[in-house]
C-alpha cells in the first residue's frame, strides 16, 4: 500500500509542476446574448421532396460521348466524316460544361518515330481546330502527340494500324 501512495504523490506533484509551467490565460467574461425563442416547427414527417440525380452525360456508357476517338487515314491529318460527329458531340458538351480536354494524337507503327510524332501532333491539332471552329475556347484544349509510342492495338496489320491512327479526346479531372 505504501508503494501506491508514493506513486500517487509523484504523479500529483508532476501534474502540479506541469500546471505551473504554463501561465494561466486571462479570464474573459462570457457574453450573454439573448435570443427570442423560436417557434416550435411542426415537422411534416410524410412530405417527399423530389430530387433529380445529376448524371454527367459524359459518363453514360454507350452514350454519344462515350466515343472519344477520331480516326485517320494513313499519313493523313484530315478529320474524316465519321470523326466529325465525334468532334461536334464533344464540342456541344464542352459548350454546356466547364471542362478542359487534352487531345492526344497517335499514329500507326509504320514510318519513322519522329515523322510520326509530328504527324500525331497534326492530328491532335486538326481535332483542336475543328472544335475551336465549333466554339470551344482555345484555353480549354491542349493538343499533344504520342506519335507511334503508345499503340492501342498491338498487332502488325491494317486492323491494328487503323485503330492506332487516332486522336483521343481526354477529359482532364475536374
Partner 1 sequence: MNKAKLMFVVAGTAFALSAQAQLRVEISGVGSNQIPVAVGPCAGEASAPAQISEIVKADLTRSGMFKIIDASPTTNLMQVEATSYKARGADALVACSVQQLGGGQFEVQYRLMSTVQGNDLSGFRAPMPNQYGRLAAHKIADDVYEKLTGIKGVFSTRIAYVVQQGRQYRLEVADADGENVIPALTSTEPIISPSWSPDGTKVAYVSFEQRKPVVYVQNLVTRQRTVVANEKGNNSAPAWSPDGKRLAVALSKPGNTQIYIVNADGSGIRRLTNGSTIDTEPQFSADGQSIYFTSDRSGGPQIYRMSVNGGEPQRVTFGSSYNISPRISADGKTLAYISRREGGAFQLFVLDLESRQEQRLSDTTSDDSPSFAPNGKYILYATQNGGRRSLAVASTDGRVKQRLSIQAGNIKEPTWGPFMK
Minimum CB–partner distance for residue 76 and partner 1 (Å): 10
Cell of 108: 500507326
**Phi then psi dihedrals of residue 20, to 5 deg:** -70, -30
Listing from the earlier edge strand, what are the strands of the sheet with 141-147? 69-71, 166-171, 101-106, 141-147
Minimum CB–partner distance for residue 154 and partner 1 (Å): 9
Q: Smallest Cα–Cα separation from 68: which of 173, 170, 172, 174?
A: 170
Query: Which residues in this chain contact partner 1 in the complex, by CB under 8 A?
Result: 75, 109-115, 117-119, 121-122, 125, 143-145, 147, 149-150, 156
Q: Which is nearer to partner 1, 89 or 107 (CB)?
A: 107
Minimum CB–partner distance for residue 129 and partner 1 (Å): 9
∠ at Cα 101 (99, 103), nearest 5°? Answer: 165
Minimum CB–partner distance for residue 171 and partner 1 (Å): 16
Q: Are residues 80 and 174 in contact, defined by beta-carbon separation less than 8 angstroms? A: no
Minimum CB–partner distance for residue 77 and partner 1 (Å): 9
- What does 3-15 look like in DSSP terms, one character per residue? HHHHHHHHHHHHH
Q: Which is nearer to partner 1, 65 or 111 (CB)?
A: 111
Length of the chain: 174
Q: Are residues 107 and 67 in contact, defined by beta-carbon separation less than 8 angstroms? A: no
Q: Which is nearer to partner 1, 143 or 169 (CB)?
A: 143
Query: H or E stretch including 80?
Result: none
Q: Which is nearer to partner 1, 85 or 149 (CB)?
A: 149
Q: Which is nearer to partner 1, 57 or 125 (CB)?
A: 125
Amino acid at each position: 500500500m505504501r508503494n501506491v501512495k508514493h506513486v500517487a504523490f509523484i504523479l500529483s506533484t508532476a501534474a502540479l509542476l506541469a500546471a505551473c509551467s504554463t501561465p494561466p490565460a486571462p479570464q474573459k467574461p462570457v457574453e450573454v446574448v439573448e435570443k427570442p425563442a423560436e417557434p416550435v416547427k411542426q415537422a411534416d414527417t410524410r412530405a417527399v421532396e423530389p430530387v433529380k440525380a445529376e448524371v454527367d452525360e459524359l459518363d453514360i456508357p454507350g452514350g454519344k460521348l462515350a466515343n472519344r476517338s477520331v480516326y485517320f487515314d494513313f499519313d493523313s491529318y484530315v478529320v474524316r466524316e465519321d470523326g466529325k460527329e465525334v468532334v461536334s458531340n464533344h464540342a456541344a458538351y464542352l459548350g454546356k460544361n466547364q471542362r478542359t480536354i487534352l487531345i492526344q494524337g497517335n499514329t500507326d507503327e509504320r514510318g519513322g518515330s519522329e515523322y510520326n510524332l509530328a504527324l500525331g501532333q497534326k492530328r491532335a491539332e486538326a481535332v483542336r481546330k475543328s472544335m475551336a471552329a465549333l466554339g470551344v475556347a482555345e484555353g480549354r484544349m491542349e493538343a499533344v502527340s504520342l506519335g507511334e509510342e503508345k499503340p492501342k492495338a498491338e498487332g502488325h496489320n491494317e486492323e491494328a494500324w487503323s485503330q492506332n491512327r487516332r486522336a483521343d479526346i481526354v477529359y482532364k479531372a475536374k
